[in-house]
Structure 1
Amino acid sequence: MKPYALLFIVCVLTGGLFVFFAGDDVQQQAPEAVSKLKPGTYKVEYDQPDFRGWKAFFVMEVNATGEMEEITFDYVNSSGGLKTQDVEYNKRMRSKSGVGPSDYCPRFVKNLRVYQNPDEVDGITGATHSSHDFKDFAQAAFKNAQIGNQSTIYIPQPELVAPGAKEKK
């Protein structure tokens, strides 16, 4: 039993010496969890509408303390209508996938506001394309906000042709 007691005392003393000599250096070596964002408004959107006529956009306002405050994610059509407010579109999508834009767009925004990091926001079942759009847009805006670049980011639209349709020449 004596060797275990001796080992315990040596461990306690070593740990105490480490804490005594390391002091504040231990805290200074820990990296910051998330880079502070620069205050401003950051925008991301597709360069053109998809084959259904919707164009995704994302706007993020960062406050003076470097936190994402106001966030908007939605899709707009050529008439200026928003997908989250299109009652018929929401009804059709809910009947097929169980969730509509008026459900998932606010959830994405809420989760980003809570986590303050786009990598922490999960996708939503039934909204696969929109989940990818949101994450891509939020990451792009987040990168710009880290350096303070408030230029609008235009991402090439990946859905110019309906799935299964042949491209027109």
Structure 2
Amino acid sequence: MKFESELMNLLESDKALFSILKAVETLNLNDCWIAAGIIRNKVWDTLHSMQTETNDIDVIYFDENEPSINAEKILEAKLNTIMPHLPWSVKNQARMHIKNNLPPYHSSFEGVANFPETPTAIAARINQNKIEIMAPYGLQDLFTCQVRPTPNFTNNSPLHPIFLNRIQEKNWGHTWNKLQIIT
């Protein structure tokens, strides 16, 4: 609960991030959240007393009736009219299981639970003027700077190389030197 309060305070106190949450709320999408790197990086930046550039804003939602990439592009365009020049990336979790050859997801929660690493498996949204947090594996790894694979990406899984490649490509340990990578 302590970490959830800390995260809510971080999101509320960051005007830009709070504006992003409000912009996403206006889409009125089913099971819609901002997720992954933008939240993870905000926490890690705060813990490291630094600020990194936002390279993407992951917006996730769940709509099994319209799983097309075109629908996602239309939503990105809407967000660009609300807050232009931001790196919006909208993904319908109803189709994202295909990427890693997993069974279909039934919610955004299942999508987030199948992100490769625990501190990235996080999402937030504004619902009825309150910030809600989704963290299938909790927030401890995020706030203690531990990066470990989620269950589908552990070292006995065929998806483990995806986790390892992300660690290498993202080079998080170089940017945030307090991180502990647990493979």
Q: If the TM-score is normalised by the length of the shorter chain, which range does it land in? A: under 0.3
In the superposition, the TM-score normalised over structure 1's length comes to 0.28
Higher relative contact order (CA 8 A, sep 6+): 1
Q: TM-score, normalised by structure 2?
A: 0.26
Structure with higher Rg: it is: 1
